[in-house]
Structure 1
Amino acid sequence: PQLIAGPIERAGNLLLQLRRAVTLGPSARNWAAGLQLILLGLFKKAVLADHLAPYADAAFADPSAVSGWTVIVGTYAFALQIYFDFSAYSEIAKGSARLFGVDLVWNFDQPYLAGDIAAFWRRWHMSLSSWFRDYVFIPLGGSRGGRARALRNLVITMFLSGLWHGAAWSFVLWGLYHGALLLGHALWRRAALAQRLAARAPGWYRLLGWLLTFELVTLGWILFRAAEDRHIPALLRLVASPGAPDASQLVAVIGVHALCGLWYLERRLRLRTVVHRSAALSLLVYGALAVITALFARDDGPQFIYFQF
């Protein structure tokens, strides 16, 4: 599975493990870890991503037939859908490899908790981000040659990252959009005001940095998800003047941000580590995931999003 949609492995890491795996053979520990990852991936895909897809599809199908708040809710839905969908595939691939004693790299590290856009790209599709860093950004000169050249190299790298997803203006604009965000972040973090704010109110600074990053990344998914390039201006106009939300739309938006709060608690309390330390607790949690997946998986669920790239 890793060959189809990642994680993108380096030969030096993967080939050595393949040779060693043939010698060592399977083990109970690897099978347990692999099956847990596969089950978690199936849950993310079949229960979470596939059930979010209809809300995103409805928002992006025809901008002339939807309200601004429908687009907003659909954009948040797609932000979660693409994360659950792609991280699910990466975990299924990682789990499948683990069954045979091969430990693939992690591809996601809770990217929607990132405190700035640079941190987001260190957490999102990490194997691809590091590939572009090593084979595009650094060969272009990286950070050498002065600030202007480094910023130019950054924008070129993000442009090519967008083009990698497909030869469409939507992907190019998405790449350039993130290039502009990274450019703005690089300039802002050197500003005296940013350094004073970070020193005087570090907690609020981190919170506002997370919120701004999450909203800007979510806004960028409109460029990525638009069914047609010509829909992008209309979608952005709807988001800019959405009107009043109904109760369900407001609850949905609050719920998305509350989910980020739960992710933060899970990371802070290291709940995954706590679960894995106890065989009984692991069996209970992953058994529940298996039952929920079997009950709520859609028979007509869409294919993995990244199969198209």
Structure 2
Amino acid sequence: MVHPASERGVRIVASPFAKKLSKDLKLELASVVGSGPMGRIVGKDVEAAAAAVLSNGVPESRKPVAQSAPAKVSGTPGIELGCVVPFTTMQGAVSRNMVESLTVPTFRVGYTISTDALDHLYKKIKSKGVTMTALLAKATALALVKHPVVNSSCRDGKSFTYNSSINIAVAVAICGGLITPILQDADKQLQPHEYSTGTFSLSNLGMFGVDCFDAILPPGTGAIMAVGASQPTVVATKDGRIGMKSQMQVNVTADHRVIEGADLASFLRTLAKNIEDPKDLTF
């Protein structure tokens, strides 16, 4: 059952992430019905309200600029081919961050990891609400504990910081942009805080069947890891025979001012051990 987030004269009750999202999407919170405890508005309520607005008509900020030639309608409803569409506030913010990231000298390292044990663990605990991305974030955080330089960051071009906390930023695509909710202190718990400052980023397109890709480094972080899909693969066994294993490809993009190739290689070896023997991922 859902409740209004506020009555007349009473302040609107909403999570920090919901407030941030409503501001980015230019959506009035007063028009959103909350589904959280005591009618509190959470992120999914704002997303649902924004989707409802889009289905009833394109908002002013997204209306195409008028063209002299007749518009061509694409196969996707609501899109006119050949028109010019200005960025939303969120798209503008993403654009500025991406341009800023181009000023950082980066390099990339790939690694193949067997996932049979992780897949087995996930099947056992997914009914409890634990996602594969959360397990990957936990495995990553435990590896970062042993390799703090990969969790470091350089913001002024003159020095870098060994961050005291491990906060995994997980890239999430929403309507009109990309946000990165944080798994704060991810080496200690799986429960996500809604918004904070990430020290390491994780982008998982494996759920969409993508087997390999590179991610752009977000400004202010030392590294981001791109996770591909787990695929059945023919491999040679230890006794020289042919066998089958599920394997996934991960590619890490890192700030080369701070992190060296050997640092990433050591980090990825530890990550592979955590995933291939996932006994420490739940407790």
**What TM-score do the two structures reach when normalised by structure 2?**
0.27
Kindly name which structure, 1 or 2, has the bigger radius of gyration based on alpha carbons. Answer: 2
Greater share of residues in strand? 2
**What TM-score do the two structures reach when normalised by structure 1?**
0.25
